[in-house]
Structures are given as C-alpha cells and as structure tokens.
Chains A and B, each alone.
Chain A
Amino acid sequence: QVQLQESGPGLVKASETLSLTCTVSGGSFRSHYWTWIRQPPGKALEWIGYIHYSGITEFKSSLQSRVSMSVDTSKDQFSLKLSSVTAADTAVYYCARPLGFCSGGLCPFDYWGQGILVTVSS
C-alpha cells in the first residue's frame, strides 16, 4: 500500500523559507513525478509543481522564482522549498502521486499525503 507523509514546521515567519518533506512508502519511487499541491484555508486546490527522481521539474510560473524541489532516492523522499513567504502562502500543503497509468507529471492523483498546515506569521 502506497503511503505519503508530509513533515516540516507548521509555522514559518514572513520573508523566510518554507521547507517541507514528503516520505513515500510502498510502490516504486523512481516511476513517478512527485507533486506538491496546496490549499489555502477555505479555498481551492493549487498545483505547485512536480519533481522526478531524475531531477526533472516543472513549477507553476507564478511561483517559479520562489520554488525549488529536490529528491533523496536513498530515503524515498522529496522536498519543497518556498522562499520569501507571505501570509498568502498560508495553506495546507499536500504531496501527491499521479495515477499509476499516467506517465509524466500532467496527471490526476490517486495517492495523497494527509496534508500539513503551514501558517505564515508576521
């Protein structure tokens, strides 16, 4: 059974860098484009971007200047960094895996982490 689990600080100060890690268990880590999605409280889902174990990435253009992602294949983990955060970055952050049949990063998602609320404080 595939499981994803987000971890990281739940509180980040404005102008600092948000850092989250997603640990994957079960399944093949190298077969997928691992994705970050966020959801501000009471609002819709927003795709942030994805990373493949080979290092291929694609990010939402409006976030591209502040986003980076990395993978640690030895631990089956991938990470998100978002710099210069503001209150607008307060959200539940999810890591997700594309549906198994889907190649590439442009996919629907069947496995999600439970989500982690990150609050940006002033």
Chain B
Amino acid sequence: DIQVTQSPSSLSASVGDRVTITCRASHDIMNSLSWYQQKPGKAPKVLVYAASSLETGVPSRFSGSGSGTTYTLTISSLQPDDFASYYCQQYYSAPLSFGQGTKLEI
C-alpha cells in the first residue's frame, strides 16, 4: 500500500499570505495526485488533479506541482474563503489513500 504523509498538520496564516502544503508518497505515484478543500460539515471539493491540473472553476491562486514522491499545493494569496482543511489523495494504486490533512487557520 502507498502511504501519503502530509505536512504541516495545521497552519496559521493571514489574508494575502502565500502558503504551501506538501504531500510525500511512499512510492513514485507518477503524478497521480489530487488536492481537496474541505469546510466543516461539507464534502471535500477537488481543486487539483494529476498533480498540477486545476479543476474547472477553481481560482487561479491555487496551484499544484511536484513529481515522483513529493507534491505541493500552493495558495498564492490567501482569501478569507480559503480557511479550511486540505487533503491530498494518491490514485496511482489501490487502496487509494489520503493524507492526514492540513487545517489552515487565520
């Protein structure tokens, strides 16, 4: 099974800040990585897939990068609506696995 380690687990930031969240996979996952945003009481929303492809409708301040075993999600200029939890997910092989999450707080 592929393990996905996400860091940091929590992050305090301010509106306008640039933030980066990292996921490391235990094996090369060939860019088969997606990022989700989740707000309390809501289902996750996909932001990025295939490591760097932005889902339709997602603001361009979100971007994904990486390759091999290390991937990052960057928010270039935090907006009030961005304070939420973020998860990465590898879909290279079964069982699909998610990172432990990053809670982004003001």
A-side interface residues toward B, CB under 8 Å?
A: 44-47, 58, 60-61, 94, 96, 99, 102, 105-110, 112-115
Q: Is the CB of A99 within 8 A of B43?
A: no
B window 14-52: CB within 8 A of A: 32, 34, 36, 42-44, 46, 49
Complex CA distance for A112 and B46, rounded to whole angstroms:
10
B-side interface residues toward A, CB under 8 Å?
A: 1, 32, 34, 36, 42-44, 46, 49, 55, 87, 89, 91-101
Majority DSSP secondary structure for residues of A touching B: loop
Complex CA distance for A107 and B93, rounded to whole angstroms:
9
Least CB distance, B105 to chain A, in whole angstroms: 15
Least CB distance, A107 to chain B, in whole angstroms: 5
A-B contact count (CB 8 A): 49
Minimal Cβ-Cβ distance residue in A for B34: A108
Complex CA distance for A113 and B36, rounded to whole angstroms:
15
| 15 further interface pairs, Cβ-Cβ under 8 Å (given A44-B101, A46-B98) | A44-B99, A45-B87, A47-B96, A60-B94, A94-B43, A99-B49, A99-B55, A105-B94, A106-B93, A106-B96, A107-B91, A108-B91, A109-B46, A113-B43, A114-B42
